[in-house]
Structure 1
Amino acid sequence: MRKILDKIDTLLKKEKGTIKKEHGGKIKVCLIYPNIYQVGISNLGFQTVYRLFNNRKDVVCERSFLPAKDDIEEYRKGFPLISFESKKPLYEFDILAFSLCFENDLPEIIRILEIAKIPHRRRERDFNSPLLIAGGVLCFSNPEPLAEVFDIILIGEAEELLEPFIDNYKKVKEASYEEDFKENLKREIIKFQGFYVPEAYREIYDSSGKIVGREVLWLNVPEKIKRVYCKNLSENLSFSQIITSEGVFSNKYLIEAMRGCPFSCRFCLVGKIYSPTRKASIDALKSRLSNIPSETCSVGLIAPSITAYRELVELLETPLVELSFTSLRADRATLDSIDYLSRMKTVTIAPEAGSERLRKIIKKGISEKDLLNVASRLSNTEVQNLKLYFMIGLPFEKDEDVEDIKKLIEKVRGVFFRRITASISIFVPKPFTPFQWHGMETYEAITEKLKKIKKDTLQIKGFRLFHEVPKYSYLQGYLARADRRAVEILERLSKGEKNGELWEKIKKEACQIKSLSQFLPWDFIEHEDIKKEALWDEYERAKTEAFQTDNT
């Protein structure tokens, strides 16, 4: 145990902004990220929730993460999982709040609860166990794989949901006997928008095991749960609470400039479920920039498509400010920012597909000419590495589209003269997107495409290729669209099971094609700007566009 305590203390010593509060008389919350510290501490949403909870005088919020592999074995010798700040076992907290962002982290929730000595199945916990809640993007895309685990799931954004949750928690706690508290809280909180109590519902399956609907089990409970979102980003800025050299963004202070994406790529979850797109005002961002910690090395502006922020150039003129992003669009706004991009060692652009044909079908909205123009301009700066993102297995993809990835890389090589890397990911259908009905391509076909791309690009000078491990993409694809029965798969995965039958089931489910008439596990979530029929119409348009290009 000493080894674990020393590791935690070493990480804490490197942090600036850690919040430590006395527990006495407060609601004790442990915020948990189901991945290792270095990943979790880099998540801006996780840090924002940590601050929001601790902004309340009646709450103390601490943190915990998935331990490293060698530490998990240490915990399994008998030590329970503990929080970072006070080193208290998780079972001593009133509430365990999980932040859920990535499907492949879901098996780790089972593992975390195991080493915390807390039953992961809700029905196996009693009134003495902490209340388990979950929030994050997976909770308002498809939370059903964990419906048997959590007591309450927050359908929406934390800025609008944490206050009513704590207010109701306190009110019900004061009026309840200890044995009745959880039940009373669930029946009260479900009356408010954005709160989902899974045990108030049951999935219905037909004789073949296919999910065909949901049944409401409690009286006066809504059939659908409306997603709640923060309408004013300027008044609710999300920014780093803790700065550390141990995160992905080492010693960088992050500020969210925009939430959601104004572009409508047909494969993209962010552009749909974070709709409407909201931007923080230039004044709000400048005000926050004027109050950053003096020891901060640099500031990163966060947004799914940062060059869509109209006043970006003005912000980039502020000392210390840099761009932080997943990727840039090869468009006019990026060209206008070229002089500021030159500060960076690596710039990332996501063509997604190698061909104009497939980019049109997925509605990416950038041309080869735009991409080469940006790459050429970057070659005249100090940027040392140009990184390209591609996907394979996209809907209606042909062999020629995959071959065009190599051709596009060669064209970029012809105008950008330093290092080029390409990252290949595998298409995963996501809820609330036009491609949610489309199955993944077969595992065998994907592995063959990866082999071909690697072979074809081997001779390109100054170029390196990276790609995802395919089986984990299929796990993501399965969990993204799974129903409640997925908890059994999560249990097996959390135990490290690797047998072929398990993974064959995962791959088979991920490849299933669904129909408009089919009930989807996430159909109970109501997004203000998303209609199922409109998504289907968009899917049909993509089919039509693919058919037209195949016949011209």
Structure 2
Amino acid sequence: MRKIFNRIDALLKKEKGTIFKEHGGRIKICLIYPNLYQVGISNLGFQAVYRLFNQRKDVVCERAFLPEKEQDFINHPLVSFESKTPLYEFDIVAFSLCFENDYPNILKVLKLGRIPHYTSERDFNHPLVVAGGVGAFSNPEPVAEIFDALFIGEAEEVIDKFIEVYRTIKEGCYLEDFKENLKKELMNLDGFYVPEAYEEVYFQGKLKGRRILWKNAPEKIKKVYCKDFAEKFNFSQIITEEAVFSNMFLLESMRGCPFSCRFCLVGYVYKPVRKASFEKLREIIENLKPIKAGIIAPSLTAYSELKELLKIQGVELSFTSLRADKTTIEILKNLVSQKTVTLAPEAGSQRLRKIIKKEISEEDLLTIADKLKQTSVETLKLYFMIGLPFEKDEEIDEIVKLIKKIRDVFPRRTVASVSIFVPKPFTPFQWHRMEEYEKVKEKLKKLKRDTLQIKGFKLVHEVPKYSYMEGYFARASRKAISVIERISEGENFGKIFDEVKDSLYEIKSFRDYLPWDFIEHEGLTKEALWKEYERAKDLACQTGNI
């Protein structure tokens, strides 16, 4: 056990901003990121939830992560970082659901924490197991049977409400009745989902809808969002050299994206688009000196006061990525200390960029690449996707041509990162299929072969197997829990692929019941998403490929 504690203490020693509180008389929560420490500590939403829980005097919130060496916990239970308390001793265990491929890790963490996997296996002696995050309010069904309740919405709107209800119910009932009473109270509030109040309905193996099992359970769950985002935007609670952005204080300047590319979840589930108060951002940044500040947004150039932010003296501002548009061209001269700039063309041809609604031109991309020569930028990163809806085989040649054109005007180090299209819930492409696995592998081979001789250039790409695993979980029903369990026990998804590939290759229709159809997002309807999908089809028809 000492070895485990020493490893945790070594990480804590590098942190600034860790919160330590006494447990006595408080609701004890363990907030879990179901991946390695370095991944979880880099997640701004995870850090914000940690702070929001701890802002309450009646709560102590500590953290735990998937350990690097799971074998160390064969004879010892997984413990929290701050007090080294076993997970099973907490009142509440709360998971952050950000990436579908972390789902098997949820079961691993529960097993290491000596907590039964499923709601049906736990009683009043076990912690309440809950979850939130974008996975919870896009499609929680693959992991629904694990959780007593899920937060359908943004943390700022649900945390206080949840704790108030939790405390009220706990003070007014017997321990044996507490969980059931709490769930029945939560299920009638916007922003909370109690999975065991429902079951999925199938006909001839196909999902047809849901059946309500509990009296008064609502048919639809309304996602809630932070209305006062201007003053309540996220920022780092903990900075550490172990994070992806080493020793950098991150601030969220916008939530949501006004451009709504048809493949992108962020452009739809975070509606309405909101921006942080410039005055409050500036105040926080100026008080940070000499710590580096990193500005986070899905599309930073859409932040109207970006140019003013760049004028703040004596602070090193860093940006995760920039949109290839006219605003970026205007601010390039202000990127004094930026060593790496990331642009996301997504597709090589203007035709395909129009279909996916990535409305940036090749001219703007080349202009930015050219102007970057006048800055201290050392590396240009480019993001591309393959396997996109209505993609022609020759689109791969278009990516290569665009990379060569960019290299001609930007002779410094250039890296292209290639991902595989995954259809996501609540996007216009949620009905579309994934490209055949073998075809994607051939496209990647061609890309690598055709870019091999480009000097100063490097190509990296996702492992296709993991993209297809993500694609399966993203659109899956509750039936996926058996696959999640098998992977958590060590089975390779590559061996499971043939069992699930039909669902990955299926193009769904508007009439199909989708596992996430019970969630209501502000200003977002299935009809509107279908119209956007139809527009993409029309554009593909006009160019002779559908």
Any residues of structure 2 matched to 1:195-214 within 5 Å, and which? 195-207=192-204, 209-214=205-210
Question: Is the CA contact (8 Å cut-off) linking 1:315 and 1:321 kept in structure 2?
Answer: no
- Amino acid corresponding to residue 504 of structure 2 in structure 1: A
CA drift of 1:501 comes to 4.6
**Cα pair 2:31 2:63 within 8 Å, conserved:** yes
Residue 243 in structure 1 maps to residue 239 in structure 2: yes
Q: Go from structure 1 to structure 2 and tell me whether the alpha carbon gap of 1:499 and 1:169 turns closer, same or farther (over 3 Å shift).
A: closer
Q: Which has the higher mean CA deviation after the structures are superposed, 340-349 or 221-230?
A: 340-349
Q: Judge conservation of contact 2:465–2:493 (CA < 8 Å) in 1.
A: no
Amino acid corresponding to residue 56 of structure 2 in structure 1: R
The aligned amino acid for 1:549 is T
Please show how residues 113-512 of structure 1 align to structure 2 within 5 Å. 113-207=110-204, 209-292=205-288, 297-318=291-312, 319-325=314-320, 327-498=321-492, 501-512=495-506
Q: Which residue pairs with 2:541 in the alignment?
A: 547
Would you say 1:8 and 2:2 are equivalent positions? no
Q: Classify the secondary structure of the residue corresponding to 2:501.
A: helix
1:376-410: per-residue Cα shift (whole Å, max 9, x none)? 00022111111110000000000111110000000
Tell me how far apart the structure 2 counterparts of residues 418 and 321 of structure 1 sit (CA, whole Å): 22
Structure 1 position 237, deviation (Å): 2.3
Please give the per-residue CA displacement for 1:180-238, whole angstroms capped at 9, x wherever unaligned.
0000000011111000000001100012x110000111111210000000012122121
1:520 to 514, 523, 532: 514
Aligned partner letter, 1:109: I
| Count of residues in Structure 1 that have an aligned counterpart in Structure 2 | 545
For the residues of structure 2 that align with 1:451 and 1:249, how far apart are their CA atoms?
31
Once the two structures are superposed, what CA deviation does each residue of 1:482-534 show, in whole Å capped at 9, x if it has no partner?
A: 00111110000001112755122243322221111000000000001111011
Taking only aligned residues, the RMSD between alpha carbons, in angstroms, comes to 1.2
Q: Which residue of 2 aligns with 1:22?
A: 22
Is the 1:475–1:510 contact (alpha carbons within 8 Å) kept by the matching residues of 2? Answer: no
1:459, 1:413 → 2: CA distance? 12
From 96, 100, 105, the equivalent of 2:102 is 105
Q: In structure 1, how many angstroms separate the alpha carbons of the residues matched to 2:142 and 2:316?
A: 40
Q: Could you tell me which amino acid in structure 2 is paired with residue 26 of structure 1?
A: R
> Which letter does structure 2 place at the counterpart of 1:201?
Y
For residues 312-335 of structure 1, give each alpha carbon's deviation from its aligned partner in whole angstroms, at most 9, with x where no partner exists.
11111223241332x321101101
CA deviations on 1:11-58 (whole Å, 9 max, x unpaired) are 001111100000000000000000000110010100000000000000
Q: Distance in 2 between matches of 1:459 and 1:362?
A: 30
The residue type paired with residue 74 of structure 1 is D
Cα distance in 2, alignment partners of residues 404 and 284 from structure 1: 43
Residue 414 of structure 1 aligns to a residue in which SS? Answer: helix
Task: Give the alignment's TM-score, normalised by structure 2.
Answer: 0.98
State the alpha-carbon separation in 2 of the partners of residues 159 and 72 from structure 1. 33
Shift, 1:4, TM fit = 1.1
CA distance in 2, matches of 1:506, 1:161: 35
Counterpart of 2:64 in structure 1 is 64
Paired residue for 2:73, among 64, 72, 75?
Answer: 75
Per the TM alignment, residue 267 of structure 1 is displaced from its structure 2 partner at its CA by 0.4
Between the aligned partners of 2:232 and 2:146, the Cα distance in structure 1 is 30
- Compute the displacement of 1:252 (Å): 0.4
Q: TM-score normalised to the size of structure 1?
A: 0.97
| Secondary structure of residue in 2 paired with 1:97 | strand
Q: Distance in 1 between matches of 2:82 and 2:13?
A: 11
Write out per-residue CA displacement over residues 256-277 of structure 1, whole angstroms, 9 at most, x where no aligned residue. 1110001021000000000111
Q: Is the 8 A contact 2:264 2:427 kept in 1?
A: yes
Secondary structure of 2:429's aligned partner: coil
Shift of 1:286: 1.6
Q: Following TM superposition, by how much is the alpha carbon of 1:126 offset from its aligned partner in structure 2, in angstroms?
A: 1.1
Give secondary structure in 1 for the equivalent of 2:516: coil
Q: Deviations over 1:435-476 (max 9, x none)?
A: 000010000000000000000011111100000000000000
Q: Which runs of 5+ in 2 are unaligned?
A: none
Kept in 2, the 8 Å contact 1:439–1:511? The answer is yes
Deviations 1:358-393 (A, max 9, x none): 001001000100100000000221111111100000
Counterpart AA for 1:253: F
Cα offset, 1:97, TM superposition: 0.5
Cα distance in 2 between the residues matched to 1:274 and 1:307: 17
Mapped partners of 2:475, 2:493: distance in 1: 22
Cα distance, 1:516–1:176 mapped onto 2, change above 3 Å: same
In 2: Cα distance, 1:165 partner to 1:298 partner? 34
Deviations for 1:249-301, whole angstroms, at most 9, x for unmatched residues? 11000111110001021000000000111001211212222443x5x530011
| Structure 2 contact 64–80 (Cα < 8 Å) conserved | yes
Superposed CA offset, 1:76-103 (max 9, x none): 2x10000000001000000001011001
CA contact (8 A) 1:260 1:277 kept: yes
Alignment pair present for 1:45 and 2:45: yes
Q: Distance in 2 between matches of 1:290 and 1:14?
A: 23
Whether contact under 8 Å (1:475, 1:506) holds in the other structure is no
- 8 Å CA contact retained: 1:301, 1:321: no
Instruction: Indicate if the aligned counterparts of 1:342 and 1:378 stay in contact, CA closer than 8 A.
Output: no
Q: Is the CA contact 1:258–1:277 (under 8 Å) kept in the aligned structure 2?
A: yes
Distance in 2 (alpha carbons) for counterparts of 1:498 and 1:246: 29
Change (3 A) 1:499 1:340: closer
The separation in 1 between residues aligned to 2:426 and 2:305, in whole angstroms, is 30
Contact 1:478/1:506 (<8 A) preserved = yes
CA contact (8 A) 2:256 2:298 kept: yes
Q: CA deviation at 1:550?
A: 1.8
